Structure 1
Amino acid sequence: IAPRRHLPGPWVFADAEIREFARVLGEVVSRYDRLFSRPFPYVMAMHAAPKGEERVFHFHVEFYPRMRTRDKLKYLAGTELGASAFAADILPEAAARRLREVK
């Protein structure tokens, strides 16, 4: 999730942007729950600009799902743990498409 205009972090959101950000966060979490028809565990990371980098860093939110399927937990592999990097099983565009299709 990212704002449409360049913003370093939520501390500079206008009132309407705060409301829209909260709505979108709620919608994404709700869609994750409906994706497998159960509460969906995830890690949510908010990436805001470091001090002094506000002009170049674009605020965004990433979700790291803990489930591969409805009944299969995603275990981190050695490369993920060793590199401190999350490897997704699906392209971001495909994941976004799946979430958009959830009713």
Structure 2
Amino acid sequence: MPYNSQLPQTLKNIQDEYPDATLTLANSHDLLQDILADTEKYGFTDVKDPCCGTYVNGELACIPNSTPCDNRCQYLFFDASHTSEFANCIFVRDMLIKD
């Protein structure tokens, strides 16, 4: 939370220092919560399991050279830490393209 509260002013300072730069502040947390609350609206069928994941030494991880699931667009998460490419496209659409 301290990071989130300080980020707008930090971005303003950077923008002031580099006026030709284009910076965007987006709230991915709230969008993720919306996706979790209404998975069908976004087209996901699995928002808990990763598409690429196997437990290795008690940790959920992708095995190098393993084959991820066939239906990747149905998963919110690609692995234990990262959202899927499909989810990232939704983030871009809803945070950067929408008015």
Q: Which has the higher relative contact order, 1 or 2, with Cα contacts under 8 A spaced 6 or more apart?
A: 1
More helix by share: 2
> Of the two, which has the highest radius of gyration?
2
TM-score by structure 2 length?
Answer: 0.30
